[in-house]
Structure 1
Amino acid sequence: MGWWLDLSPSEWDAVRLSIRVSIWATVASLPLGIAVAYVLARKEFWGKAALNGLVHLPLILPPVVTGYLLLLTFGRRGPVGAFLNEHFGIVFSFRWTGAALACAVMAFPLMVRAIRLSIEAVDRRLEAAAGTLGASPLWVFATVTLPLILPGIITGMILAFAKAMGEFGATITFVSNIPGETQTLPSAIYTFTQVPGGNAGAMRLTAISIVIAMTALVASEALARRVAARLDVK
């Protein structure tokens, strides 16, 4: 029964790298995700539909296209990538940091969607009451809104993490498939399917991917039910 845990060092590297990339992708994009979700949920402005479309564009575009656009933008010769490399020594292309960036971009819509729905469900009268007591908008958000949307934030983070763990197309296009550096779980599985006798390794990594994904989805569903129960009580 433990055959699927009998991983080679390179397979463990792929698992560890995937977890590392997914955690960084989720945590690094969280502040921006909360800000964008709040703007989309509470603000009315010219171009809101365009912003909403831009946020959700990675869900619609082929992942390879997203990865290619990242390569053009954040590659060593791209406008942003060249600037970051020249002035700060930051390189994304063909590095694990680039894999984290690609995963963050692909997972960002799921995170924003979950947080936005949670913000829209908050009773604005509670925020207004805090405002009438002299609290600033930032303090109202920190003490009233943020605790109420915390389950939604956690749900968004879990969904983003699961999406990042399974990301393949954008990652392999942007940072290639370099063992020990950018070879995540999906890339390692793809590599195994391309070599003779690689079925056992592919099956092991597939089993691990399914376990991680199902765990994340079950946790997300449990949190969603908690949010629904809270709203029913109110």
Structure 2
Amino acid sequence: MNFFEPVWLSLQIALFASVVVIILGTVIGRIMARSSFRGKLVLETFFICPMVLPPTVIGFLLIVIFGKNSPIGQMIERVFDHPIIFTKWAAIIAAVVVSFPLMYQAAKIGFSNEHIEIEEGAQDLGANAWKVFWYITLPIAFRSLIGGAILSFVRALGEFGATLMFAGNIPGKTQTIPMAIYIAIDSGNMTLAWLWVITTIVLSIGFLSFTQVLQRKKDT
């Protein structure tokens, strides 16, 4: 088995998923933090539900939503002449779903009403909505957003259950580090399994340590 192939694939999937999650989580978190409407609690529960659902349940739901028998799955197959299940895109979608709640929660906290007086003061001085967001709102929320982005990346990097069900375990195509570890252990190749485990631990600790440093700076 090629050691670097699952590592590189995992980093690609986690990075691509993180970009999607950062955009969606930031936009939705900003809207939800500053709005109040009927059914908001239900919608927020839906957004954070992947944090508590078993990965196999998420994988099953993704198969139902994007499978060949669903309208979405049939449309994708007509457009791309190929089903999305058992592809790298399926792995990315699974990573997006499981990591989105972390980014959403971080963005919601970062865009809370705690500093709304500063924004209102800038608007009173003549700053338009875009300038207020770019020069005041975003810098205030920046550390929370970076923390959420890193946690989302690490979560996407370690995704296993939903990816296995929805994207499969195809070497060179959808076999990420967690699945490669599982196969290596199953085949008795403990040396290779340990190398992937150590790589994952080093990457995760590195990113999480950076998050902790940001949090300490935020608190001081």
Q: Same fold (TM over 0.5)?
A: yes
Secondary structure (helix, strand or coil) at the match of 1:64 reads helix
Moved more, 144-153 or 56-65: 144-153
The one-letter code matched in structure 1 to 2:190 is: N
Q: Does 1:141 align with 2:133?
A: yes
1:199 aligns with: 190
TM-score, length of structure 1 as denominator length = 0.88
Question: Distance between the aligned counterparts of 1:211 and 1:160, measured in 2?
Answer: 16
Query: Aligned runs of 1:17-96 on 2, under 5 Å?
Result: 17-87=9-79, 91-96=83-88
1:210 aligns with: 201
Please tell me whether the aligned partners of residues 21 and 152 of structure 2 are also in contact (alpha carbons under 8 angstroms). no
What is the number of equivalent residue pairs in this alignment?
220
Q: Deviations over 1:79-116 (max 9, x none)?
A: 22222332355753111111011011101111111122
Question: Distance between the aligned counterparts of 2:114 and 2:185, measured in 1?
Answer: 47
The one-letter code matched in structure 1 to 2:197 is: T
Question: Distance between the aligned counterparts of 2:38 and 2:80, measured in 1?
Answer: 35
Q: Does 1:224 align with 2:205?
A: no
The one-letter code matched in structure 1 to 2:32 is: L
Q: Deviations over 1:166-188 (max 9, x none)?
A: 11001001011000000000000
The one-letter code matched in structure 2 to 1:189 is: I
- Percent identical residues: 35
Question: Distance between the aligned counterparts of 2:158 and 2:58, measured in 1?
Answer: 15
Please tell me whether the aligned partners of residues 6 and 177 of structure 2 are also in contact (alpha carbons under 8 angstroms). yes
Question: Distance between the aligned counterparts of 2:21 and 2:134, measured in 1?
Answer: 19
Moved more, 211-220 or 113-122: 113-122
Name the Cα RMSD after superposition. Answer: 1.6
Question: Distance between the aligned counterparts of 1:90 and 1:115, measured in 2?
Answer: 35
The one-letter code matched in structure 1 to 2:206 is: T
1:190 aligns with: 182
What is the deviation of 1:121? 6.6
The one-letter code matched in structure 1 to 2:192 is: G
Secondary structure (helix, strand or coil) at the match of 2:111 reads helix
Moved more, 159-168 or 141-150: 141-150
Question: Distance between the aligned counterparts of 1:143 and 1:75, measured in 2?
Answer: 44
Question: Distance between the aligned counterparts of 1:91 and 1:45, measured in 2?
Answer: 37
Q: Deviations over 1:126-169 (max 9, x none)?
A: 11012223333343222210121111111111000000111100
Question: Distance between the aligned counterparts of 2:77 and 2:150, measured in 1?
Answer: 31
Please tell me whether the aligned partners of residues 67 and 173 of structure 1 are also in contact (alpha carbons under 8 angstroms). yes
Question: Distance between the aligned counterparts of 1:50 and 1:189, measured in 2?
Answer: 37
Query: Aligned runs of 1:116-131 on 2, under 5 Å?
Result: 116-120=108-112, 122-131=114-123
Please tell me whether the aligned partners of residues 96 and 156 of structure 2 are also in contact (alpha carbons under 8 angstroms). yes
Please tell me whether the aligned partners of residues 122 and 149 of structure 1 are also in contact (alpha carbons under 8 angstroms). no
Q: Does 1:115 align with 2:107?
A: yes
Question: Distance between the aligned counterparts of 2:78 and 2:88, measured in 1?
Answer: 19
Question: Distance between the aligned counterparts of 1:30 and 1:43, measured in 2?
Answer: 20
